[in-house]
Structure 1
Amino acid sequence: MQAYVYPAMFALFVWWFSTGAIIFLDNLPRKTFKYSMVGATIVSLSCLYGLKITATQTSLVSAYEAFFFGLFAWGWQEISFYMGYVTGTRNEPCPEGCSGWKHFGHAVETSLFHEVAIILSACAIFILTHHEPNQIGMWTFMVLWWMHQSAKLNVFFGVRNLNEEFLPEHLTFLKSFLKSKPMNLFFPISITVSMVIATMLFEHAASATSAFERSGDTFLGTMMALAILEHWFLVIPLPAGKLWKWGLASRKPSKAFDVEIVAGFLGAGKTTFMTRRLNDLGALPGKTVVLVNDFASVGLDGSLLNNQGADVVELPNGCICCSLRDDLSRQLEDTVSRFAPDRVLIEPSGVADIASLIGVMQRPPLLPFVRALKITTIIDAGAFLEDYAKLPAHFAAQAKLASTLIINKADVVSATERTMVAETLRRLNPAVAIVTARYGHIDPEPLPQARIALVHDNAASDEVPHECDDHCSHAGHTHHGHDTHDHHEQHHEHHHNHAASDLGFTSWNTELHTHCNADALQAVLDGIVGGKFGAIARVKGLAKSGNGWLHFDVAGGRASMTAFAASSDEQARVVAIGKNIHESELAAAFLACDVKLAA
């Protein structure tokens, strides 16, 4: 048994460690790349020489050496690509609306030279080892090539876990060629091919008559088994990327940046304000990065903020409560390390705990780099009276922490009501600047530049007042289920996220797989406003309609629909947030909306 276990464990460790080491090197400052590249080239040339020497040997040691040389010869291909030295003729995102073979052609262009380098290296290894008894190194290289090509095609066609966080900042344009979906048709083919090859290799290892053959076949069989596992990690909902999180330790913030948090209750108009804010910031020098934190497991606001001149990072499924502070801290640290922004805008969910978010900014890894922190809180003038009556403590906490309070949707209430809202907020925070706005546009005066200075006290960095009881949203308390409805051969998956916030809200979401009739969709939204499907505080979604797209919304007891310019890989979906949501009835209503058009 040891004759098989030792080679398998050796292959597993070398594969895992070398992958993490490459990630570590690729995320060091770019000024180090030339040294890493020189070192990788020397190692690769040494491995090619080692493959030539071991090709004539059939001892157990030579089997280990040939496998090692083949794997590290492949490492040069990965380092040269991810450091940007050997890539392709294209280094920019795919244009909006590009699809089909043209989209595929652009994807090929991004790594054309890289693929040519792989072919040339494979030819060199073949020439060095052909007609010799030890072919382990060559076949190791070929197996890694198969793993590489198959994984690339799968993330292009669409998988659940894209692991975009491992892309260095200079290769973030590749995100436009990655597609997020549960699975693609090529996936079962790649899994089947890998399983057949792995089975054949292990069977050959079991019948081998020498230690050299047993080890060699076990090495290759293990690599094919890892290819299968790696592919399953692309589609199953597991954080497989954590296997190499240690490789990201080389990412560190490199310069100071400003932070602006745009807070507000569900439907207050945060995303609309963010769109206008990004438009204003576009005229300023420097880079802007946006972090969007949706309460539901399916994020939507990120799609609405794309193409606004800033990099958008989505953080779905959380209210930034106490259990998520570590995740948010790591995500923010990783984001500023990758993008080196001059400013970071954060749009937390409508039920987020802003005190915890401030606490994240005061943690030691980030505190030295945060120049200033500004908190802008959006208030829905039309829904304020009802919302405040239900959640006075929530609004009091947000008002007291705000640098600026914006009374949005001021045009839907009377002057008396606007004054009432302003006076209520002023009592909660007498020192805060209060302005009014319509559709997120500040009126009549510009947004004040008041800021909150951070206290540079590492010892107290985590001591931010925050109450968290059993009703807080914890990652471990999030449940996902699937209901599949078959109607006219259309399959609709409904994903239920029952993460309850400390305000008692739950969320529900589903994908909309067919076109929606606008009138039918409006009827569903009107039913939501009327309480037909439970006490729903917020609905937002994207739907295909005719030859275009609709962005629909329910907030503050009002429903709206507008045209939407969707990207080529956009997914039609809807998210509802509230209490006592009648999930089955709501799902049936959206399904009927689809069916009406089909009829």
Structure 2
Amino acid sequence: MTKTNLITGFLGSGKTTSILHLLAHKPADEKWAVLVNEFGEVGIDGALLANSGALLKEIPGGCMCCVNGLPMQVGLNTLLRQGKPDRLLIEPTGLGHPKQILDILTAPVYEPWIDLRATLCVLDARQLLDDKVLTNQNFRDQLAAADMVIANKADRETPESRQALENWWAQNGEGRELHHATQGAISPSLLDATRKNLAPLPESAEHSHSHASTKGLAALSLPEHQRWRRSTNHGQGYHACGWIFDADTRFDTIGLLEWARLAPVTRVKGVMRIPEGLVRINRQGLDLHIETQNVAPPDSRIELINDADVDWNLLQAALLKLRLD
């Protein structure tokens, strides 16, 4: 049986960073796998996790739990049967609802295969101060489903967010654990905590996505001889636009970082080729984190998400001007 953990969290809470930390500190004699789902179709998290040493399966387009869970079951079966991992980490989109996923994982068909352990919800406590996030049904249900809440980005907390977390915990903390972390630095030992007897989750909040029902189950790729391409998606009150560029395209480093910093959106995430190698870009609100390495990725991918529609053509024109090749 594969020890399995669901790791949830709203947009920008730090799920992927937490998973990267867990993978970097996993037992050396274990094989781990990650099933990752994103709201957009570009596959940023897949690019971030590509060199982590884990088996990886992506489900793009926010559709892990749509169509009776078929996309999730295809990815899940592939990892369990072909990879036979010791542990599986499942990262749904930040706009995902946990109930359908937990229903699938606890279905009789998976009883011989899956040893379901604690569900972790990664939380940026400042989100508790944002009425739009706080009233989002998926955000509320992610916290309700958690056996363990990881209050991430402790280094960015404010007196107001600290008090909001204390107030929330006083009302909702019974029966679960709370841990604090900075940059997703959580111990793999937390994954072996047992599931709690939490109250049943409500039925899923209504969610829909703009992609067709015949959409593929792989992240966006480039047709032969096409230098770049873009993809948009929307649903649950959020809009996303992502771009992928071929391996021969590099971007001006300073200009790219300024573009990411100033883009009028709430979320920016990307892995981009620059003259120095690669830059990883992760921005939530005004928090911008960058990391450079002298190893270039096979292509460039970047995605923007916002809670209102944006002039993607204007942002695209500015991005294209930053190409060096």
Does 2:254 correspond to 1:519?
A: yes
Distance, in Å, in 2 between the alignment partners of 1:376 and 1:420 is 20
Distance, in Å, in 1 between the alignment partners of 2:282 and 2:155 is 18
1:466 alignment counterpart? 203
Equivalent position to 2:179, from 409, 413, 435: 435
Distance, in Å, in 2 between the alignment partners of 1:275 and 1:382 is 22
> Secondary structure of the residue that 1:303 maps to in structure 2?
helix
What are the within-5 Å matches in structure 2 for residues 48-67 of structure 1?
none
Distance, in Å, in 2 between the alignment partners of 1:271 and 1:449 is 19
Equivalent position to 2:8, from 263, 272, 284: 263
Tell me the number of residue pairs that the alignment of Structure 1 and Structure 2 aligns: 313
Distance, in Å, in 2 between the alignment partners of 1:266 and 1:294 is 10
CA deviation profile, 1:6-64 (whole Å, cap 9, x unmatched): xxxxxxxxxxxxxxxxxxxxxxxxxxxxxxxxxxxxxxxxxxxxxxxxxxxxxxxxxxx
Shift in Å at residue 587 of structure 1? 0.6
**Which structure has the greater CA radius of gyration?**
1
User: Which residue identity is paired with 2:320?
Assistant: L
Shift in Å at residue 401 of structure 1? 0.5
Mapped contact 2:129–2:164 kept (Cα < 8 A): no
Residue 435 and residue 359 in structure 1: after superposition, are their counterparts in 2 closer, same or farther (change >3 A)? same
Residue 526 and residue 353 in structure 1: after superposition, are their counterparts in 2 closer, same or farther (change >3 A)? same
2:237 alignment counterpart? 504
Equivalent position to 1:572, from 300, 310, 314: 300
Mapped contact 1:290–1:345 kept (Cα < 8 A): yes
> Secondary structure of the residue that 1:476 maps to in structure 2?
coil
Shift in Å at residue 415 of structure 1? 4.8
Shift in Å at residue 474 of structure 1? 6.9
Distance, in Å, in 2 between the alignment partners of 1:567 and 1:546 is 9
- State the TM-score, normalized to the length of structure 1: 0.48
Does 2:224 correspond to 1:494?
A: no
Residue 509 and residue 330 in structure 1: after superposition, are their counterparts in 2 closer, same or farther (change >3 A)? same
> Secondary structure of the residue that 1:336 maps to in structure 2?
helix
Equivalent position to 1:310, from 48, 54, 78: 54
Distance, in Å, in 1 between the alignment partners of 2:243 and 2:286 is 21
Identify the structure with the greater strand proportion.
2
Does 2:67 correspond to 1:329?
A: no
1:452 alignment counterpart? 195
Identify the structure with the greater helix proportion.
1
2:222 alignment counterpart? none
Residue 363 and residue 317 in structure 1: after superposition, are their counterparts in 2 closer, same or farther (change >3 A)? same
Distance, in Å, in 1 between the alignment partners of 2:67 and 2:226 is 35
What are the ranges of 5 or more consecutive residues in structure 1 without an aligned counterpart? 1-255, 456-462, 481-489
CA deviation profile, 1:295-354 (whole Å, cap 9, x unmatched): 211101122123323211222222423325122113212220111112111111111111
Residue 467 and residue 382 in structure 1: after superposition, are their counterparts in 2 closer, same or farther (change >3 A)? closer
Looking at both structures, which has the greater relative contact order when contacts are Cα pairs under 8 Å and sequence separation is at least 6? Answer: 2
Mapped contact 1:373–1:451 kept (Cα < 8 A): yes
Equivalent position to 1:563, from 292, 296, 308: 292
Distance, in Å, in 2 between the alignment partners of 1:384 and 1:492 is 41
Residue 491 and residue 478 in structure 1: after superposition, are their counterparts in 2 closer, same or farther (change >3 A)? same
Shift in Å at residue 525 of structure 1? 1.7
What are the within-5 Å matches in structure 2 for residues 146-225 of structure 1?
none
Distance, in Å, in 2 between the alignment partners of 1:565 and 1:440 is 23
Residue 314 and residue 580 in structure 1: after superposition, are their counterparts in 2 closer, same or farther (change >3 A)? same
User: Which residue identity is paired with 2:289?
Assistant: S
Distance, in Å, in 1 between the alignment partners of 2:274 and 2:154 is 31
User: Which residue identity is paired with 1:274?
Assistant: I
Distance, in Å, in 2 between the alignment partners of 1:434 and 1:388 is 23
Mapped contact 2:129–2:161 kept (Cα < 8 A): no
CA deviation profile, 1:176-228 (whole Å, cap 9, x unmatched): xxxxxxxxxxxxxxxxxxxxxxxxxxxxxxxxxxxxxxxxxxxxxxxxxxxxx
User: Which residue identity is paired with 1:347?
Assistant: E
Mapped contact 1:542–1:550 kept (Cα < 8 A): yes
